[in-house]
Amino acid sequence: MKSHCKKAIEAIKKAYRFADEVHRCKATERLEWETRELENIFSLLTLGAFVGMQAPPMHISLELLPEMEQELTIMTNRVCTANDPLADLFSMFDAF
């Protein structure tokens, strides 16, 4: 009888570890997605004049330009998904 209890406890522990690992992975993916979105928003706020939005004075944007290489790359890569931003958003929720 004790061996059955030990096996059941071990099975529960393995299931918990597996569920914990899956949830940690999904949480990391969601944080990465959120970070990309925040970088995109920062880019638009800082360099919004390039897409017709109000932006900080141009000299501030130009001073930030050398540090914003990654953000510029992100903005140019996002152009392909600009036609369907909802698809990009809902693609994150397909795991539910």
If pLDDT is split at 50, 70 and 90, which confidence band does 91 have? low
pTM, full prediction: 0.51
CA 82 – CA 38 distance, rounded (Å): 16
Number of structural domains in the chain: 1
> 45-61, pLDDT tens digit by residue?
777 766 677 777 777 77
Q: pLDDT tens across 1-43, in order?
A: 677 788 888 888 999 899 888 888 888 888 888 888 888 787 7
Whether residue 95 has pLDDT greater than 80: no
89 band by pLDDT with thresholds 50, 70 and 90: low
The angle at the Cα of 35, spanning 92 to 41, to the nearest 5 degrees, equals: 100
Q: Which residues contact 9 (CB under 8 A, 6 or more apart)?
A: none
Q: Domain range for residue 36?
A: 2-95
